[in-house]
Structure 1
């Protein structure tokens, strides 16, 4: 059992037994018969008496006992043991949800042929059922995009230039409307004039930041776009309905020139029918997060008597050590040990 230690800083230690099948250590096989005998786990962690507990100076943890495996959870952001299974953050912790959309028309002077919308009420396309998806899209248009917010896109009047639009999804309309629960981005490519259809390059990304955490950037691949070609010329052609490619009337993903390329004209030949392509991102909650992680600092063959870690911010931290024995002789139950202390600013 870890003993309480008295120091000039706020500190407490306590052992906690934690059994988890998901973390059970594999026992190596043996070519000979043997009895399942092994040493019971005996472990203790103590804070080094030389610790100063100041930002930028290492905190040293001394170990005693026979643990074969030790995993270290530092207690700072992203590495708290209590959040090891957390996959969502409270929406109140969302600080930034910024959509960036860049558009470049490659020729001509007509604008407005690419329209952009956002919603949190769309369930997504099937992606493999043309009749169902066509009906879904027709309902959106018939309803005059009732569940969608039109995003005003900055499109340069001069061809070949990039226009960039940023949108705060925490307040998409200036009235406090947030689109974070089930966010979907819709790009509709629908020129006004069949005789003036043009090529477009598109780049898009999404930055999500939670309070006291680093921001995460979602690329167009993370948004997982699904496209549907609504033009009558595609009716009954299920493969062509979802198809992508470089030929006119189609789009391409992941090219050097842009995340999405819309092809309406090639070598002076224009698409003979009026393009009407709908490109949906897959609906997603924007408060998703990765579970916190620990760091393995000892394996069965390692001789580790101490470990140090340096904190870059003041605060009270709860460090967790997950320890166990496990070798050819058997395995012990997993145990966790917590050490709590306060780190203060350095002396100026």
Structure 2
């Protein structure tokens, strides 16, 4: 009996040790490059003709693997960057497009796109204070118009292809904290109060070296202030909760839909003729012009799959610092490693 117990104990110990080794396993990664008439590799630099696929052979089988191509927006060294040194910025612009659907936007609604470096920011938990604050700023002329009223579209159109584009110089706000606000106010209901679309809103900073860095409206922290939330309007009954600061994912008259905000696109829905006038604000957090969205890598592998090769094609001449970020992770242990390579893309 003692012999069986001893054997059982030994087996259990071995099993536990094996499991522990698996949980604590350090991530491994090794990469080779498949060469051909268009791709060569000297052990340090990959030289490839523009438009030629580069095949990386992968070994080590990490749980997760992310690829940074080294192109603009995909640089490993900028994966955590949220601001850019102002001295490195040549120009800065706020860019977006606007289009209206239904009704007559020139007479049915009053619309404003504002900016201010004096705005103190929303409370977001005190609706009365926030609604008074934005209106008092407007009354005191502290909001600055981004678009002159004469330059808004005067007619409704059928789709975003017919949107009017705007570009606003942000240089005077460099190094300052400022807010962007949008005011939509119905003024006539004999026809539909127009649906107002914003497309691809972002701040573009052009660097001294010619490269560009975008800061999307998805990072602006926009918060609605639904000025008629207590009126219980019949065409807003589908909105049950968060009526003071809430958004919708459908078409609710006079309420902001921000489902496309990640790409800088959003809208406030129209109101049928004869229905009550709508009134709402959309106000950003306090942001800085030299903010930027962190660079992103491409997730090419997770723990559910095996990946032996990865192919990528560069279509522009240049030198790129490529990085593979590998990670093993479980509830008890995490291990990461990087593999860096240089790619020289030639004509």
* Cα distance in 2 between the residues matched to 1:148 and 1:37: 62
Counterpart in 1 of 2:340?
338
Which consecutive residues of structure 1, in runs of 5 or more, have no partner in the other structure? 1-29, 233-238
Counterpart in 1 of 2:254?
251
Query: Secondary structure, in 3 states, of the residue corresponding to 1:33?
Result: helix
Kindly state the Cα deviation for residue 43 of structure 1 after the two structures are TM-superposed: 5.2
The alignment's TM-score, normalised by the length of structure 2, stands at: 0.59
* Cα distance in 2 between the residues matched to 1:206 and 1:282: 16
Query: Secondary structure, in 3 states, of the residue corresponding to 2:169?
Result: coil
Residues 282-309 of structure 1: CA deviation (Å, up to 9, x unaligned): 23636431442143358597372x5432
Counterpart in 2 of 1:27?
none
Query: Secondary structure, in 3 states, of the residue corresponding to 1:146?
Result: coil
Kindly state the Cα deviation for residue 315 of structure 1 after the two structures are TM-superposed: 1.1
- Specify whether residues 60 and 124 from structure 1 end up closer, same or farther in structure 2 by C-alpha distance, changes over 3 A only: same
What is the 5 A alignment of 1:108-257?
A: 111=107, 114-121=110-117, 122-143=119-140, 145-149=141-145, 151-153=147-149, 154=151, 166-170=165-169, 177=172, 182-189=178-185, 191=187, 199-208=193-202, 209=204, 212=211, 218=217, 223-229=222-228, 251-254=254-257
- The total of aligned residue pairs comes to 286
Q: Does 1:310 align with 2:318?
A: no
Kindly state the Cα deviation for residue 103 of structure 1 after the two structures are TM-superposed: 4.4
The alignment's TM-score, normalised by the length of structure 1, stands at: 0.59
- Specify whether residues 181 and 311 from structure 1 end up closer, same or farther in structure 2 by C-alpha distance, changes over 3 A only: farther
Counterpart in 2 of 1:33?
16
Q: Which has the larger radius of gyration?
A: 1
1:283 to 268, 271, 285: 285
1:80 to 60, 75, 78: 75
* Cα distance in 2 between the residues matched to 1:290 and 1:106: 40
* Cα distance in 1 between the residues matched to 2:285 and 2:334: 44
* Cα distance in 1 between the residues matched to 2:329 and 2:244: 56
* Cα distance in 2 between the residues matched to 1:296 and 1:244: 34
Kindly state the Cα deviation for residue 57 of structure 1 after the two structures are TM-superposed: 1.3
* Cα distance in 2 between the residues matched to 1:84 and 1:95: 21
Kindly state the Cα deviation for residue 344 of structure 1 after the two structures are TM-superposed: 0.8
Residues 97-121 of structure 1: CA deviation (Å, up to 9, x unaligned): 22323346836x9848514141132
Q: Does 1:45 align with 2:31?
A: yes
Which consecutive residues of structure 2, in runs of 5 or more, have no partner in the other structure? 1-12, 41-46, 232-241, 259-265
Query: Secondary structure, in 3 states, of the residue corresponding to 2:319?
Result: strand
Query: Secondary structure, in 3 states, of the residue corresponding to 1:118?
Result: strand
Contact 2:318 2:345 in 1 (8 A): yes
Query: Secondary structure, in 3 states, of the residue corresponding to 1:136?
Result: helix
Contact 1:67 1:324 in 2 (8 A): no
Counterpart in 1 of 2:9?
none
Residues 100-147 of structure 1: CA deviation (Å, up to 9, x unaligned): 23346836x98485141411323443344243224414532442x134
* Cα distance in 2 between the residues matched to 1:31 and 1:322: 32
* Cα distance in 1 between the residues matched to 2:302 and 2:113: 51
- Specify whether residues 321 and 263 from structure 1 end up closer, same or farther in structure 2 by C-alpha distance, changes over 3 A only: closer
Contact 1:59 1:309 in 2 (8 A): yes
